[in-house]
Amino acid sequence: MNIERLMLRDFRNYEQAELALAPGVNVFCGENAQGKTNILESVGLLSAMRLFRSAQKRDAIRFGAPQAEAEAEFWAEKRRMHVRAVIPSSGRMQLTVNGVRQKRLSDGAGLLRSVLFCPEDLTLVREGAAARRRFVDVALSQLRPNYARCLTEYARLHESKLRILRDAEEKPSLLDALDDFSLRMSMVGGHIVRYRAYYVRALMQRARVIHAAISGRDEALDCDYRTVSSVTDPFASAKDIGAQLWAHACAHRAAELAAKSCLSGPHRDDLALTIGGQSAKAFASQGQVRTCALSLKLAERDLFFDDSGEYPVLLLDDVLSELDGRRQDFVLNRIESGQVLITCCEPEKLAQVRGGRLFTVQGGTVRACG
């Protein structure tokens, strides 16, 4: 997978930018707050249909502009593709693929595949469950477009059910629809749980090997995918899992009404990571946490390759400065194949990376060097 051209208009701090990218390593160098990360975020948006630094897509619109635009021309599976996203100041994001307007954003997920590794990912192990769910969801939405559609529907159902629970005291008639929403959430949730279970199993098979190579120690990395307690087998059929989720929702109906919150469902899933049999979140050292996070992200990249035979675009956002020399070397030695976009403040740290293209970034302006 290879982005040839990336175009931005009124995106973050870019009034207009057009970049011709090398098929290998592309380094974006500049001081902080000049716009380096914004370039990577535009690629992430075109990949996963979301911003990785904000839940609100409108945040990507340059101050005073009516809308933000990002588009890319790239090769994927021997096909030339063109994807364009428009974020208006009011209304939903619009997506065009090869000139055809898409009805759903999920239809564009996974066309341009990317894996992001940023400093925030180094705290993935110690953050709350939402961060680990997001890590899985972003990757799976690209690998399996149907998962993205399930996730979108589930989020819409969850929002509607929350509204019913919160407003039912003043409008009791809303409760007539509560069970319908709970049932549909359970059925869609069955697909989500099953997708996650298979993905986490494949991810950990890769991550354990990578973790052993980085750490050089006899510290096995492992993970327990934790979903709703009524689910006895997350690898069962989506129908069976959905039935178990529905039973759990029914048993917790009164508690949800009292709490005015959705207490049951895969929106509360988590990944319990362990190193050497102990909780990584509770007991891992800072070095162990970084090795664990690095292993997960590199394993994610390998799974994309296993699925399509092509490496996704690897986005490294100033992450090398957060790693020690040994971990830097490990990352750099694994990016010989595939396209890579790296941001940094000190390009001399990338002296061992040969070839590619260097860009300087200053005040929302990008210039190619040489």
- Check whether 204 has a pLDDT greater than 90: yes
- Check whether 352 has a pLDDT greater than 80: no
- pLDDT tens digit sequence for 76-90: 888 999 999 999 988
> Looking at per-residue confidence, does 191 or 264 come out higher?
191
Q: What is the 3-state secondary structure (H, E, C) of the chain?
A: CEEEEEEEEEECCEEEEEEECCCCEEEEECCCCCCHHHHHHHHHHHHHCCCCCCCCHHHHECCCCCEEEEEEEEEECCEEEEEEEEEECCCCCEEEECCEECCCHHHCCCCCCEEEECHHHHHCCCCCHHHHHHHHHHHHHHHCHHHHHHHHHHHHHHHHHHHHHHHCCCCHHHHHHHHHHHHHHHHHHHHHHHHHHHHHHHHHHHHHHHHHHHHCCCCCEEEEEECCCCCCCCCCCHHHHHHHHHHHHHHCHHHHHHHCCCCCCHHHCEEEEEECCEEHHHHCCHHHHHHHHHHHHHHHHHHHHHHHCCCCEEEEECCHHHCCHHHHHHHHHCCCCCCEEEEECCHHHHCCCCCCEEEEEECCEEEEEC
- pLDDT tens digit sequence for 107-138: 888 899 999 998 888 888 999 999 999 999 99
Share of the chain above pLDDT 70, in %: 97
> Looking at per-residue confidence, does 329 or 46 come out higher?
46
- pLDDT tens digit sequence for 224-259: 999 999 999 999 999 999 999 999 999 999 999 999
Instruction: Supply the pLDDT for residue 370.
Output: 61
Instruction: Supply the pLDDT for residue 335.
Output: 78
- Check whether 165 has a pLDDT greater than 80: yes
- What confidence category does residue 351 fall into, taking pLDDT thresholds of 50, 70 and 90? low
Q: Where is average pLDDT lowest: 158-167, 214-223, 267-276, 288-297?
A: 214-223
